[in-house]
Amino acid sequence: MARRKKVYEGKAKILYEGPEPGTLVQYFKDDATAFNAEKRDVIDGKGVLNNRLSEFFMTGLTSVGVPTHFIKRINMREQLIRAVEIIPLEVVVRNVAAGSICSRLGIEEGTPMPRPIVEFYFKNDELGDPLVSEEHIIAFGWAAQQDLDDMVSLALRVNDFLSGLMLGVGIKLVDFKIEIGRIWDNEFMRLIIADEISPDSCRLWDIETNRKLDKDVFRRDLGDLADAYTEVARRLGVMPQGPSGVSKPTLIN
């Protein structure tokens, strides 16, 4: 097979040129990072799980009319996606207090938000992805006001979909982050969900026990990260329930 050209490599994924113009191949690595990559490890099978889970979420969003960059899964670690112009912002939706909002505002972890709160963070690893206001975004030209309105609308639609999906399998969607990109159909520009949606980018707690089923397991040394992600995939039906005595079920190809 011909060697593919690498377009970009991040902490958890690699992007390669796609087979057709306007496409990319997104490869999911097993690398796990936290605290702006100050803590890192390799978790066997993590990339496979995130590829399958992101496919599941993106396909579901498409089915309810939320546009995404996802085209199809190629194999266990790769998916074909549309190339987009990424807006340099992480869009975070918070349903329950956790992470940085607790330290910033002195809110106890686990406190329900009075309504879903949408925050924007400037994508810059050297600066630690700082929280920014809509005024900053417009002033520095990262997005226009109409873009921001559309991004909030998209984020809240994703929140509605994911919250209901997770509730049905006994999981609380605490918060999540997404990235949004621009694509052009002739002269018409529209915004679509890009990057990934997986336990790497969501906080997921068991409804009954508040057991963490996301990357906080790695951040806080709470156990085996692959086991936590496998549990999410099992509940969602992405992986079948294995026979008695098998701790990690086999992924469906």
CA terminus-to-terminus distance, the chain: 21
Residue 246: its pLDDT value, please? 36
Residue 249: its pLDDT value, please? 42
Residue 187: its pLDDT value, please? 85
Residue 4: its pLDDT value, please? 84
Distance of alpha carbon 175 from alpha carbon 116, whole angstroms: 9
Residue 250: its pLDDT value, please? 45
What percentage of the chain reaches a pLDDT higher than 70?
A: 94
**Hey, is 150 helix, strand or coil?**
helix
Instruction: Answer whether 161's CB lies under 8 Å from 65's CB.
Output: no
Residue pLDDT, tens place only, 190-203: 999 999 999 999 99
Instruction: Answer whether 74's CB lies under 8 Å from 162's CB.
Output: no
Question: Which tokens belong to 37?
Answer: 């990559």
Which residues have a Cβ under 8 Å from the Cβ of 78 and sit 6 or more positions away? 25, 26, 27, 28, 51
Residue 244: its pLDDT value, please? 35
> pTM of this prediction?
0.91
Amino acid at 233: A
Question: Which tokens belong to 172?
Answer: 């609380």
Instruction: Answer whether 65's CB lies under 8 Å from 58's CB.
Output: no
In this prediction, the residues of the chain whose per-residue pLDDT falls under 50 are 1, 241-253
